[in-house]
Amino acid sequence: MRAFLRATYTVSTGTALGAMVFFTFIVAQAVFSTLPIDTAGHVLARIFSPYYTLTALLCVVSFASSFGAYGTNPARLVRVSQALIALAAASSLVGWLALLPAMNRIRLQIPTFAGPSTPLINQFFMLHGISMLLNLVCIVILLFCLIVFAAIRRTD
């Protein structure tokens, strides 16, 4: 059972990390470099919902399986890593359940992003910046935790 939970942890964490890196550094860049800003925003808005759903659920699975796979290991690095995975899961859930709906509501009220800056556009970009920051924090956390748990497994 422990081997299954370790595999579940590794697959869920690695898949979440891969999806975040792929979306952040490849998909978003490609969409914005090939489409006009308003069209790119509509395309990414359609992609964001399944992206946030997938990454949030994978982070939650990663967090839960880390306890089954590594228990309450007394090693400080294990406990810190599990706390960091909890932070990544919470960040992903905030992005999915709070930031994404707020950004979508605001985006529907903005006729175009090409014009002058308005309070709604500023609010949208503030929320977007927060979501990007949380996404980058999750990327760093998941990479760190994959490395830590891989090193721990080698010493078991």
Q: What is the number of structural domains in the chain?
A: 1
CATH code, domain carrying 138: 1.20.120
Would the pLDDT of 87 be above 60? yes
Look up the domain containing 11 and give its range. Answer: 2-155
Q: What mean pLDDT do residues 13-25 have?
A: 95
Six-digit token string for 130: 């927060």
| Backbone conformation region of residue 71, classed left if phi is above 0, alpha if psi is from -120 to 50, else beta | left
- Measured in whole angstroms, the distance separating CA 21 from the mean position of its chain's CA atoms is 9
Would the pLDDT of 155 be above 60? no
The predicted model scores a pTM of 0.88
Q: What mean pLDDT do residues 94-112 have?
A: 91
The contacts of residue 31 (CB under 8 Å, 6+ apart) are: 40, 43, 44
